[in-house]
Structure 1
């Protein structure tokens, strides 16, 4: 009959269950923080653009000013479309990074569980 001391059991429990949970939780928190920051940065940029456009609209005093404002809208629309694409690319990149890291964590945890199971079966 195999004998295990309490420290070994506690260590194995931590290695097999708690350490992977902590690692995945830390990864999830990091991902959530990066995603939230990306969203906040994007929202601020969109709000700043909207406020700047509203201020420009308020400063129109004549037909030339209106024409100038309308001509500038093409550049604003182009810049905004590029910003949206860049923000979407950033989110996709964050998601891919999270997926790759979580898959690596899973693979490492499966290997570690197999090794522990092998060790336990040999000592039995």
Structure 2
């Protein structure tokens, strides 16, 4: 009889605590992976743009080259501003998705706990 109680307790711990904890940990790891990947891509793009501009600066040989460089700076600033805006929107969307999935997990866990409590009281 005590074996049955131990198995039932183990099953309840798995259903109410360990299972949800593993699911939340997996969600957190997936989110972290996506966030780090997005940050890496953004850093790479900003670094590439900076290095390109540094090389262009060193290629200036005359007034026309300087004028072209300055004109190109406006374009680069605009492109980087748009890139930054897009990157920020991507991170906000990832945050919202993470929160929504976390809330769904909590709701599901509350329902499961409520059912388990109801069954235990019978």
Q: What TM-score, normalized by structure 2, do the two folds share? A: 0.96
Matched, 1:103 2:103: yes
- Counterpart of 1:23 in structure 2 is 23
1:5-29 CA deviation, whole Å, 9 max, x = no partner? 3212111111000001000010011
- Counterpart of 2:46 in structure 1 is 46
Q: Distance in 2 between matches of 1:111 and 1:94?
A: 26
Q: Distance in 2 between matches of 1:82 and 1:38?
A: 15
Ranges in structure 2 where 5+ consecutive residues have no aligned partner:
none
Q: What TM-score, normalized by structure 1, do the two folds share? A: 0.94
For residues 36-75 of structure 1, the aligned pairs below 5 Å read 36-75=36-75
Q: Distance in 2 between matches of 1:4 and 1:116?
A: 16
Root-mean-square deviation over aligned CA pairs: 1.1
Q: What SS is found at the alignment partner of 1:5?
A: helix
Ranges in structure 1 where 5+ consecutive residues have no aligned partner:
none
